[in-house]
Structure 1
Amino acid sequence: MSEQAAIDQSQLPNTVSSIVRDLHALGVREGDCLLVHSSLSSLGWVCGGPQAVVQALLEAVGSEGTIVMPAHSGDWSDPAEWAHPPVPQAWLETIYREMPAFDPLLTPTRGMGRIAELFRTLPGALRSGHPQVSFSAYGKHAASIVADHALTPQLGMPSPLGKLYGIGGTKVLLLGALYDSCTAFHLAEALIPGMPVKRMGAALYEEGARTWKWFEDFAYDSEDFVRIGARLDECGEGERPARGQVGQADCRLFGLKAGVDAAGEWLRANRSFG
């Protein structure tokens, strides 16, 4: 079936203005600081594709607002762990030696979707300097959010997630994305004593020169994030995430700090640490 034939003829097209209306109905307000995880395909047909969604997000929060999106680059990691596809063992030393250094302006995202990939190229958008789990931001708080992204712990309090945690009223928007995409829950992992650690590596610039650098960080695991989200959805009125549609996408909106704190409580009760 062609893409055109697959369009639901009973639905009006999604546009910048209709997406803004849907975002406001969900609870997004002018001046908001939003951490956005998105799935373009879940919205249905969008007039203008990812560009329209980015424009709608910026319009919804206005000139005093801030939009943040993950700009992770999983290809900048230890090739010995690559599985989709794996590379031959004989290639590893060449990759360690020749992999280009992470460049915030040039390095593409991986697995973040078309909206996040376009957003990182938006004129005026800033990107943090972590070679694997960078974030892009645009707006009032963008510079402070992406500044000084620590190599390790990469998703702890020195990271953009930690900066967002400290900004009062920061919200998480799951724009058609599921709870397993919610990077904020990784901050909860980083704050729990006894989290297991692992060796990681990436090609980066250090003192102006390209190098392959090994480091240790927490063994982050999103496998049970859907269960954490289900627990949030069971909270009482006024505590559970707002839920509604943006286009044809099932979306959620909730306070980042409250979500991280609830995730930490769930993790301490349901995972074994140390």
Structure 2
Amino acid sequence: MSMSLFKIYSKIALLSPRIEVLLRQMYWYNHNLVSRYNPNTVSASIFPVTDIHTVDFDAILERLEGWGVRKGSLLIVHSSYDSLKATGLSPLEIINKLRGLIGEEGTLAMPVIRHYKNEPSPIEKLKRDFVYPECVYNPKRTPVVSGLLPTFLMRMPDAEISLHPLNPLCAIGPLAKDMMRHNIEGDIPSPHGIYSAWHFCVSHNAFVCSLGTDLRHHNTIGHVAEEAFGNWYWGDDDWYSVRNFRIEIERNNTIDLKVKERKAKWGMLHQAELNRYKDLLDNRIIKSQRFDNVLVEFEESSKLINYLMSKNSRGYPYFK
């Protein structure tokens, strides 16, 4: 979607959450005609690149420090290296600077979201008779689709990677092993449930930042409010699908695992994502600043989850 169309879409969608949901349904039910106008495709380029100026990454680090990140922090980073190229730093150099910000006593985490060879399309997932195929997850080899920085991070010798195949985290630091230790325990574990790496991060009051992208579409930790506390407004039977994975831990060590995943219809047809993003900005849950063409956003996970839980009685930000 072009920037001008996105502005028009946003202006209409922000009239009310239900109008946004209606627009999403119009899009997905007419996907073959309007797929080029997917509103999510602009999330990494909210601010279009015109003249490229060199961005001082140390100034970004100072801003993160001003927002509360310090030695010993647990920091989750979402990123777009396409935008971060303006810093003149390589992915590894950026990672090392982030690690320097939080020190040896801090833990750096990034989502290492995967692409599975036989993963069905979003439209297929909306079909009533749809059944998920079994997928194979190799934590070290399955391709990462969440960016260059996490790909570099997970290749570091001391990196720990979640064994849960959906929205896995990778981390380095003193909390990394404990973060991943119990991720596939429990009865049909969900990616953001009580045993998940994401819930671990909330329980340790992780900071979350986005570098070169936003926390509108890339705010995975918010799903903890939906999956970890057992009191979600929308019932489990309508909320989850069950999927089968084979997890290849080592060459001769595999696990067959059933996991829960939010049904595709909720994110595609019923989520008022733009309205939630505006609410989080208006309530100062998300802090946002541009460094030329590099957008940097920040939130404290505990404040985010408390805010989302306060609206749980209405099923926010989902509307049917």
In the other structure, the counterpart of 1:129 is: 163
Kept after mapping to 2: 8 A contact 1:175/1:246: no
In the other structure, the counterpart of 1:175 is: 211
In the other structure, the counterpart of 2:121 is: 82
1:139 deviation in Å?
A: 0.9
In the other structure, the counterpart of 2:242 is: 199
- The reply to whether residue 52 of structure 1 matches residue 89 of structure 2 is no
Alignment counterpart, residue 40 of structure 1, candidates 53, 78, 81: 81
Alignment counterpart, residue 264 of structure 1, candidates 275, 291, 309: 309
Distance 1:47 1:105 in 2: 28
Alignment counterpart, residue 116 of structure 1, candidates 150, 158, 165: 150
Kept after mapping to 2: 8 A contact 1:175/1:252: yes
In the other structure, the counterpart of 1:224 is: 272
Structure 1 residues 64 and 185 mapped into 2: Cα distance closer, same or farther (>3 Å)? Answer: same
Distance 2:51 2:121 in 1: 38
**TM-score normalised by length of structure 1:** 0.77
1:215 deviation in Å?
A: 4.3
1:198 deviation in Å?
A: 1.3
Structure 1 residues 115 and 7 mapped into 2: Cα distance closer, same or farther (>3 Å)? Answer: farther
Tell me how large the CA RMSD over aligned residues is: 3.3
Listed one character per residue, the Cα deviations across residues 224-255 of structure 1 (whole Å, up to 9, x for unaligned) are 344222111111xxx53332245632212111
Structure 1 residues 182 and 20 mapped into 2: Cα distance closer, same or farther (>3 Å)? Answer: same
Q: In structure 1, the residue corresponding to 2:109 is in which secondary structure? A: strand
In the other structure, the counterpart of 1:89 is: none
Unmatched tracts of structure 2, length 5 or more: 1-48, 126-130
Q: In structure 2, the residue corresponding to 1:244 is in which secondary structure? A: strand
In the other structure, the counterpart of 2:189 is: 152
Structure 1 residues 21 and 211 mapped into 2: Cα distance closer, same or farther (>3 Å)? Answer: closer
- The reply to whether residue 243 of structure 1 matches residue 288 of structure 2 is yes
The amino acid of 2:288's aligned partner reads R
In proportion to residue count, which structure has more helix? 2
Structure 1 residues 81 and 105 mapped into 2: Cα distance closer, same or farther (>3 Å)? Answer: closer
**TM-score normalised by length of structure 2:** 0.67
1:54 deviation in Å?
A: 1.1
Unmatched tracts of structure 1, length 5 or more: 1-5, 87-91
The amino acid of 1:218's aligned partner reads R
The amino acid of 2:144's aligned partner reads T
1:187 deviation in Å?
A: 0.9
Kept after mapping to 2: 8 A contact 1:19/1:53: no
